[in-house]
Amino acid sequence: MDIDDTPVLDNHLHLDPVNGRNVAAAEEFASQGGTHLLVLNKPSWHLVEKGTDEAIFREVFDLTVEAAAAASEVLDGRAWPVLGVHPALISKLVDGGYTPPEARDIMQAGLDVAAEYVDNSDALAMKSGRPHYDVDDVVWEASNEVMCHGFERAADVGCAIQLHTEGGEDFEAVAGWAEDRGLDRTQVVKHYSGGQLRGPVKSVLADKDELEIAVETDEPFLMETDYIDDPDRPGAVLGPKTVPRRVRWLLENGHEDAVRTAHVETPKAVYGIDTEATLER
């Protein structure tokens, strides 16, 4: 099997139509055999400067919806937007003078807007999580409340949710919180995961060592770069060519089944998307 015989999905990448390379990054992905993208909105840090009206979330989400549509034009498959609130926003808000409960309410309102976009079929899935760095107990508690609100809203509108969290392999408790709110753990995706994970579905950073672990573990998984499309930080993350390159490497090493798992079966199971039916070469 050759890379041209399979869909190739990057499960988590950012495109920035304002300051970044945007469509050019999607073209670079496509040039290496990439076919499908999940495009995440960039963090809405300017919320702190411009006020906390939910209109700011809409502004950020609309940019991502447009970026995904533009990326779809250059892909043999297509791109879908995934919208939500970056968990580190809580620290920006608290540093800007909001109390943790106020910050929580603002972020939950942002998730409500994201759920509305999914409900209107303008986005595929949601994104939430909790800080990946140490925070005060009150901020941690508020963050968990934000994440659980995300689970509730994803369950309401029937979509999957990607999580940005601290590192680690045991997220069994988090998966349980989702299930307590009516969201199956198979709809919860830990972004930036290593090859081994308990609880949610893992979206494995396209690193060879972690991918080897994921292949050996033989569980559902996705692949991602977390490309940030930030001209000020070139090389800060994996580039848009990385997932297709790793797919080629997996195929060369005889891992056809793992490629099918990450690019056809898991996307279908988690998001309900058909990467084969939406592919026209």
Binding region for Zn ion (CB under 5 A) out of 20-28, 167-175, 225-233, 271-279 = 225-233
**Taking the complex as a whole, how short is the minimal distance between the CB of residue 98 and Zn ion, in angstroms?**
23
Among 10, 210, 224, 226, binds Zn ion (CB under 5 A): 226
Residue owning tokens 């006020």: 51
Binding region for Zn ion (CB under 5 A) out of 73-81, 99-107, 121-129, 226-234 = 226-234
**Taking the complex as a whole, how short is the minimal distance between the CB of residue 41 and Zn ion, in angstroms?**
9
The residue (of 42 and 78) whose beta carbon lies closer to Zn ion is 42
Which of 159, 6, 2 lies closest to 77 in space, CA to CA? 6
The residue (of 16 and 226) whose beta carbon lies closer to Zn ion is 226
**Taking the complex as a whole, how short is the minimal distance between the CB of residue 256 and Zn ion, in angstroms?**
28
The CA–CA distances, whole Å, from 255 to 125, 248, 258 equal 28, 10, 5
Binding region for Zn ion (CB under 5 A) out of 47-55, 77-85, 220-228, 243-251 = 220-228
**C-beta separation of 271 from 9 below 8 A:** no
Which of 114, 201, 104 lies closest to 156 in space, CA to CA? 114
**Taking the complex as a whole, how short is the minimal distance between the CB of residue 220 and Zn ion, in angstroms?**
20
Binding region for Zn ion (CB under 5 A) out of 42-50, 73-81, 132-140, 222-230 = 222-230
**Taking the complex as a whole, how short is the minimal distance between the CB of residue 20 and Zn ion, in angstroms?**
13
* Residue 229, φ and ψ in degrees, nearest 5: 50, 50
For residue 147 the two structure tokens come to: 């994440």
The residue (of 20 and 100) whose beta carbon lies closer to Zn ion is 20
Number of Cβ within 10 Å of residue 118's Cβ equals: 24
CB neighbours of 245 closer than 8 A, spacing ≥ 6?
32, 206
**Taking the complex as a whole, how short is the minimal distance between the CB of residue 281 and Zn ion, in angstroms?**
28
Binding region for Zn ion (CB under 5 A) out of 30-38, 66-74, 224-232, 246-254 = 224-232
**Taking the complex as a whole, how short is the minimal distance between the CB of residue 60 and Zn ion, in angstroms?**
13
The residue (of 122 and 226) whose beta carbon lies closer to Zn ion is 226
Distance CA 80, CA 36 (A): 8
**C-beta separation of 27 from 75 below 8 A:** no
Distance CA 214, CA 39 (A): 23
Q: Find the residue with minimal CB distance to Zn ion.
A: 226
The residue (of 210 and 226) whose beta carbon lies closer to Zn ion is 226
Site size for Zn ion (CB under 5 A): 1
Under the binding rule (CB under 5 A), the answer on residue 16 touching Zn ion is no
Instruction: Give the footprint of Zn ion on this chain (CB under 5 A).
Output: 226
